[in-house]
Structure 1
């Protein structure tokens, strides 16, 4: 019996809707056109036809049809929602936000639509940028216009406060720095508040800064952490603005700062003053704007000064090389030269140190083979390597074959240890550390390998070893990238993120400009990931190794905090860049990380103060809820 053709717009619409639901696109299109031929202003038919056009990849036609649908019947709501999504794909943020607002008004019971509206409104405010990708220029302009904390504006009291401050403090202000109105008055008030709270006065104060372009527009902010020696050595930050207490300088036998038109002498004076171990205070407020003019010192001359300073401190530094600091917007104006940080290299002993590499593994021969191949290609004459694979109950024939092949590999000593039983990362590594030999241990996860194109290069091992052998340093870690090339690990900061600790700059590109590209330079953190961690063997054993109560997560954090409590630093080496397919081996076993919450709770009980806030490791002006480095005032999800 022949199927009766629809005769009314409603019949054609229902037929088109049914065909669309079953992904019969051509049939749906024909039925919907028949509906529109009978009723041209059928809003629902226009909406469904737009969905067909979107499926066909005809985006502009889909947008036009959804606009027509909204014009015919705005009460549908889903047509406005679909239009908003189409416009969002085209990066038309104002149009998408307006359409989503109409959808939220038409669909009041769909609260998640209102949340999408808020998110799009946030994207409009920052011109489509995502703060999860790093603080971009539009987001910074929005922060400056609407959110930046103000400075005092009362001229009479401000002048009095500033005069009083300068009677007790020397102001070091770069020749190219412009002081914000009210900056000194704000500092004076801040010091009074801290004194009233019982805090002793610092010996030196520094603050955040940004830059002015050729149109006197602010950009490229530098939110600075509390005092971190390695971070300062690699990106010195006292030039633009710092205050030095006069009575402390006199007590230390130091002269006042040189004139601002002699930046070389000024930097030498800073290093001399720092050698006297002042108490430094970072104030979380942008107080100066740098113009990048002729006052910038010669980076090569400054590198020589820094090299001599570090050697005077007893650091076995062999070279200090200028390195360009990444910026959010590369400067194109000749009057704004590239800013320069430094790459520092430490000496290795004349006799190559023996590094025992410890790799726990279970039945991922593909991962393990790539990891071991990277070690094999990293061998050189400056590092002696020994391998310790701790096999946690592998059952695959391919795993046994890999062990056999590796046992026949010439040139690199390899030992397989039996680590059968429930997976406990801490116990597996501790056992191998007891049996291993040599000066250094390198804990390496089997899902870590050389980045593509790295070739035969052991410089990453040399960098880690040189840092781990420094007396002031306990652990050295690598910059780890995801398989997609984003940052996976650039350190660990307790009190950062929603889980009590997080990886700073996670998922940003390696050459990001956030915090003047801090992850591109030598810096210290409270902890480093155990996925690639080098430590002196005797120090590891004296510290008691990793805590077996933290079987999977948190053991590296606990280890770093214990060593930090003993006065050691944990240093990230940006020259050591590896790829980390995080969690690959655990996913292969079907683990759902049941130990994560238990580990976090133990860390919270053991280290409540450290887990509560990032402390000096993270800029105080930046959100502790987001690892992307955004300012506090932008700490809401509508801009992610």
Structure 2
């Protein structure tokens, strides 16, 4: 590696923090993930830090699209004047020895809110810096909406947060750390959600980070409520806002979960909240201060936080009666759902035409590598005429694990799969392309365990090109007009945008190149649409109908397979195939127009022009006022 390249990687790793920051981050990665983690980080940086929005781009984006001017302020104030409800929002702030100027800036950011119906509830946890108490007392004398309690004994953040919460009289509680910032329109957006959604109980927003020089960077543009992503990392904070009655129901913050006390709180509150009562605001309403001691700087800054988060998640699943063990994996959490003592039968359906070498590789990799024992393979021979393929089919016909079904109809993927399902004996079905090759021995165990969860529909896998770059990590609606693969062409080890290429999370759709679903759900939604979507988009349409039926479609990175993509389908640029594709494209646009424009598992602040989670220029969000 050349010296110039090393210098470039170091700058990228430091994020403006200098050599000391590089070494501190490298040591943190080593402690969490060992030398393999350090090597992954170097590969990621060398690839251009995929999944990270560049600082300069974001500064320009903020300048263009995230400014509040005088006209906007006036419009917001007029909008507030027309609200039927003006809920009091209690901003809860635990305090311990903050840098005075950052602490003052945090308080000023609350005082500067365009929505005036707030109170700031501060609990000082016996700060040793006398300037902290002086600042609090001065602000209390200047603004009656600010109140404080000075604890007599240091109890850490959970106890201090409860002391601040005890001061709250508002209907709603917003959480703010002592050195972070709220933009001036933050509480307005919260109040507007409450005005528009009377049944809402939990509200969260997008967030970004702000460095010691005041530059905003690293925005986290979130999706709508995504339980699987929430179990992988705390997507709720920040800004996290709760109905105070809900916080009282769960008993506030729990001592012993310091560092992940807000994660534990969100988990317990979610247990008592209907999904429809959890609302996401697609605006950056929280600026998380980055400094050497903050968890915003590095997840290793507070290693105890990861341990507390792991415990909070495991207890959450215990309370829900779900047999699942969660472990911290260095950059998030992995939920491992238990399989039943008696493994259900899975019917693996593999359509093919000729392609003896590919299908042999596919079937052999299943037989030789798959550790899940209870499965059957249904190989659909769609009119093969190649002697080598026919000999191969004949050679495996006597294997009790596989059945070869001949179906000579003109190629209609949806019809072939629907017909095969009628022959399937499995409690679950797994759709596999003939150009799939197993990598992870436990791929089927992982997918089946997820698919058996009552609220989960289709489960997708991490598919790789032969060069070990990502082919499929979930589908994002609207990209390329209908749907595109998330994080396509990223390195195999890349974690993607805020971990979404390396963590279990829900998407609107996953590809049928490798898809597991309960047979009952497949039949409930009517299978694949063989009338309108013979070849293209049938998996997207199927997953959207599964979602309409009330299930989540989940993608896991812990089931890895190679995909030698569409190696036997032929070209789509001949006139007949192109006409068919155009018809199916137009069908999807008509049938799912609104969903294609508003994917709840993606952000309107992110682009539909590419599949790299880059910024949208302009964003597809509306300002309520």
So what's the TM-score if we normalise by structure 2? 0.69
CA shift, 1:357, in A, is 0.8
Corresponding position of 2:365: 374
Distance in 2 of aligned mates of 1:275 and 1:242: 16
Q: Deviations over 1:300-359 (max 9, x none)?
A: 232121011023223221x2111233xxxxxxxxxxxxxxx1011001111222211110
Q: Aligned-residue CA RMSD in angstroms? A: 3.3
| Matched ranges for 1:228-377 at <5 A | 228-247=226-245, 249=247, 253-257=249-253, 262-277=258-273, 279-286=277-284, 287-291=286-290, 293=293, 296=302, 297-317=304-324, 319-325=325-331, 341-377=332-368
| Matched ranges for 1:88-127 at <5 A | none
Corresponding position of 2:186: 187
Corresponding position of 2:11: none
Distance in 2 of aligned mates of 1:174 and 1:561: 39
Distance in 2 of aligned mates of 1:468 and 1:484: 29
Contact 2:171 2:244 in 1 (8 A): yes
5+ residue gaps, structure 2, are 1-7, 9-45, 74-107, 120-169, 296-301, 621-625
Distance in 1 of aligned mates of 2:48 and 2:359: 36
Distance in 2 of aligned mates of 1:161 and 1:260: 36
Q: Deviations over 1:114-144 (max 9, x none)?
A: xxxxxxxxxxxxxxx9999644435545536
Corresponding position of 1:392: 382
Contact 1:173 1:260 in 2 (8 A): no
Contact 1:510 1:519 in 2 (8 A): no
CA shift, 1:293, in A, is 2.4
CA shift, 1:542, in A, is 3.0
Which stretch has the larger CA shift, 208-217 or 398-407? 208-217
- In the alignment of these two chains, the number of paired residues is 477
| Matched ranges for 1:56-205 at <5 A | 134-140=51-57, 142-143=59-60, 146-147=63-64, 149-151=66-68, 159=112, 161=114, 163-166=116-119, 167-174=170-177, 178-180=180-182, 183=183, 185-191=184-190, 198-200=196-198, 202-205=200-203
Corresponding position of 2:430: 442
Q: Which structure has the larger Rg over C-alpha atoms?
A: 1
Which of these residues, 577, 580, 587, is aligned with residue 602 of structure 1?
587
Contact 1:260 1:266 in 2 (8 A): no
Corresponding position of 1:119: none
Q: 1:568 to 1:633 in 2, by over 3 A?
A: same
SS at match of 1:268: helix
Corresponding position of 1:534: 516
Distance in 1 of aligned mates of 2:278 and 2:586: 33
Contact 2:194 2:200 in 1 (8 A): no
Corresponding position of 2:84: none
Structure 1 residue 207 and structure 2 residue 205: aligned? yes
SS at match of 2:391: helix
Structure 1 residue 585 and structure 2 residue 568: aligned? yes
Contact 2:528 2:542 in 1 (8 A): yes
CA shift, 1:217, in A, is 5.2
SS at match of 1:178: coil
Q: Deviations over 1:568-612 (max 9, x none)?
A: 111111101111122211127986454222122222222232123
CA shift, 1:258, in A, is 6.6
Corresponding position of 1:331: none
Contact 1:218 1:289 in 2 (8 A): no
CA shift, 1:510, in A, is 3.8
Contact 1:360 1:390 in 2 (8 A): yes
Corresponding position of 1:416: 404
Q: 1:271 to 1:514 in 2, by over 3 A?
A: same
Distance in 2 of aligned mates of 1:628 and 1:199: 33
Corresponding position of 1:509: 491
Contact 2:459 2:517 in 1 (8 A): yes
Which of these residues, 587, 597, 612, is aligned with residue 628 of structure 1?
612
Which of these residues, 491, 499, 515, is aligned with residue 474 of structure 2?
491
SS at match of 2:480: coil
Q: 1:497 to 1:131 in 2, by over 3 A?
A: farther
Q: 1:447 to 1:188 in 2, by over 3 A?
A: same
Corresponding position of 1:84: none
Distance in 2 of aligned mates of 1:285 and 1:228: 17
SS at match of 2:185: helix
CA shift, 1:211, in A, is 3.7
CA shift, 1:290, in A, is 4.2
Contact 2:180 2:289 in 1 (8 A): yes
CA shift, 1:458, in A, is 2.4
Structure 1 residue 482 and structure 2 residue 465: aligned? yes
SS at match of 2:526: coil
Contact 1:174 1:239 in 2 (8 A): no
5+ residue gaps, structure 1, are 1-90, 92-128, 326-340
Contact 1:474 1:536 in 2 (8 A): yes
Q: Deviations over 1:171-225 (max 9, x none)?
A: 22346x6214xx2x312332455577x4447322222233456776554332211
